[in-house]
Chain A
């Protein structure tokens, strides 16, 4: 574990040196990332000029909803910074045969392939997310109790773990398909579902979608559970989603490990 952390630190240092070599580009990447996020916030502000809450009686009024959005920003920035750049490279490694060189290294292939690149510019959104969360929570009618703040990082990490597992499973599909641009698009669209409170998925179509995205692909637990821990009283039945998130994260990590190992077993080198 200590060795893995040391190697991860070396990867991160190398990526930071690379980013700092092209400082202007790094700054531009941060700005464009912040621009995208600001545009989404502007859209939500516009929505709240038409309605007091998202969904009748759901309790997702402006400040709780922005706490929800902030949580989404934090989770997604961690995933974008730590895992996505490496997963995106896997397609090229499989196609060109570069994966061979990775497999002969004395390191766990999944660890190496999913964490060797760190995109520090993606953390800009996470920092804004933390500021936004502070702003939103300070305007809550009832501030979250210390217990909620203690549970929040745990369920946040569970959300990150669920997304990591999903990214790894989609990346593993590259080994079978050779090219999987659509699957990465699919990841983007799937995470799009997690950006809104689960209550909006109601009715004859929304109900099954909500159930599928909670129990089959637990994408709705990623942001909803941590945001609820802060926005709603953490008592009685409110603990069930917390336990559910922990179980779903553990199951997702195990599933991703199995899928990745099985995919690697089917890998046939493309190099000469």
Chain B
């Protein structure tokens, strides 16, 4: 029994060491093009600029003090906070990268090596994010400092903890949703159109484009249920809207607890879906090439 226990402990430690090595290699890879990476980080703030001007123009032309509960300052703060959410949940190139590995056969090395492919991808993505945060912290801090006047007072300790939890869950959700999408490559040769369709839906329903609350007046045909109510049950809103709304104090109490529970449930669902897709996909996969 003790031998088995020691074996398990040794196995776990070896897996952890392997994961740590994968993480270190991935970090070094990411730092090769650091100039391009830093420039790309700065560029990501540019669309926010046009959004701020657009909403400022909208507010100047309407007699309403707020739109769906958002003042002009709230809107600016909201878009900036969704940048933080997206910094955790967006997974550029993950789904298409997996599909490409399946298509060109390079995935077969993971079938013969004692490395868990999904864990390898997760380590690579964690490395990408760590490098991204290390580089992005400067422009993020500068922009948030310049725009500090738009923000309400920060949330209390519980609100802050909920914000951080929602960010971590959004990272996992974004990762496993995209990884599952990429595994469709086992069934279809080309998934780029599916990925693009997913991006469309994601962009619209995540709150990246506008706060989900703005859909509250749009009927769905179901009595007492608005489009915002329906979107609240989908996984997309946790990748942009959720953390931003928590920071702004728009969600609290029982509503906040329910949101985090639904988000955690979606993470579990997507982990299971990803593992299932990998298990079923590798069973039907036939490799070719040298």
Q: Which residues of A contact B (CB under 8 A)?
A: 25, 28-29, 31-32, 35-36, 39, 42-43, 46-47, 49-58, 179-182, 185-186, 189-190, 192-193, 195-196, 199-203, 206, 209
Q: How far is the CA of A193 from the CA of B47 in the complex (A)?
A: 8
Query: Which residue of chain A has the shortest Cβ distance to B214 in the bound complex?
Result: A46
Q: Are A189 and B47 in contact (CB-based, < 8 A)?
A: yes
- With A25-B190, A47-B58 as given contacts, are A39 and B204 in contact (CB-CB < 8 Å)? yes
- With A32-B197, A189-B43 as given contacts, are A196 and B50 in contact (CB-CB < 8 Å)? yes
Contacts of A53 in B (CB 8 A): 61
- Identify which of A42, A54, A185, A190 contacts B58 (C-beta below 8 A): A54
Closest 10 CB pairs of A and B: A189-B46, A55-B57, A28-B193, A200-B57, A182-B39, A51-B62, A182-B40, A32-B196, A56-B60, A56-B61
Query: Which residue of chain A has the shortest Cβ distance to B217 in the bound complex?
Result: A49
Q: How far is the CA of A43 from the CA of B36 in the complex (A)?
A: 31
Query: Which residue of chain B has the shortest Cβ distance to A187 in the bound complex?
Result: B43
Q: Are B57 and A39 in contact (CB-based, < 8 A)?
A: no
Would you give 15 A-B contacts (Cβ < 8 Å), ordered by A? A31-B193, A35-B196, A43-B210, A50-B64, A51-B58, A51-B62, A52-B61, A55-B58, A56-B57, A179-B33, A182-B39, A189-B46, A193-B46, A193-B49, A201-B53
Contacts of B33 in A (CB 8 A): 179
Beyond the given pairs A36-B196, A55-B58, A190-B46, 19 more chain A to chain B contacts, judged by CB atoms under 8 angstroms and listed by A's residue number, are A25-B190, A32-B196, A36-B200, A51-B58, A51-B61, A51-B62, A54-B54, A55-B60, A58-B61, A180-B36, A186-B39, A186-B46, A189-B43, A192-B47, A196-B50, A196-B54, A200-B53, A201-B53, A209-B49
- With A43-B210, A181-B40 as given contacts, are A193 and B50 in contact (CB-CB < 8 Å)? yes
B90 → chain A closest CB, angstroms: 13
Q: Are B193 and A29 in contact (CB-based, < 8 A)?
A: yes
Contacts of A50 in B (CB 8 A): 58, 62, 64, 67-68, 214
Q: Which residues of B contact A (CB under 8 A)?
A: 33, 36, 39-40, 43-44, 46-47, 49-50, 53-54, 56-62, 64, 67-68, 190, 193, 196-197, 200, 203-204, 209-210, 214-215, 217
Q: How far is the CA of A202 from the CA of B227 in the complex (A)?
A: 34
Q: What total count of A-B pairs have CB within 8 Å?
A: 95
Chain A CB within 10 A, most for which of B36, B40, B197 = B36
Query: Which residue of chain B has the shortest Cβ distance to A33 in the bound complex?
Result: B196
Q: Are A182 and B43 in contact (CB-based, < 8 A)?
A: yes
Q: Are B43 and A58 in contact (CB-based, < 8 A)?
A: no
Q: How far is the CA of A58 from the CA of B60 in the complex (A)?
A: 11
Contacts of A203 in B (CB 8 A): 56
Contacts of A200 in B (CB 8 A): 53-54, 56-57
A36 → chain B closest CB, angstroms: 6
- Identify which of B36, B50, B200, B204 contacts A32 (C-beta below 8 A): B200
B131 → chain A closest CB, angstroms: 15
Q: Are A55 and B61 in contact (CB-based, < 8 A)?
A: yes
Q: Are A199 and B57 in contact (CB-based, < 8 A)?
A: yes
Query: Which residue of chain B has the shortest Cβ distance to A54 in the bound complex?
Result: B57
Q: How far is the CA of A196 from the CA of B64 in the complex (A)?
A: 22
Contacts of B62 in A (CB 8 A): 50-52
Contacts of A180 in B (CB 8 A): 36
Q: How far is the CA of A202 from the CA of B197 in the complex (A)?
A: 35
Q: How far is the CA of A213 from the CA of B171 in the complex (A)?
A: 36
Q: How far is the CA of A29 from the CA of B195 in the complex (A)?
A: 11
Q: How far is the CA of A116 from the CA of B50 in the complex (A)?
A: 33
Contacts of B210 in A (CB 8 A): 43, 46
Q: How far is the CA of A7 from the CA of B230 in the complex (A)?
A: 53
A177 → chain B closest CB, angstroms: 8
Query: Which residue of chain B has the shortest Cβ distance to A194 in the bound complex?
Result: B50
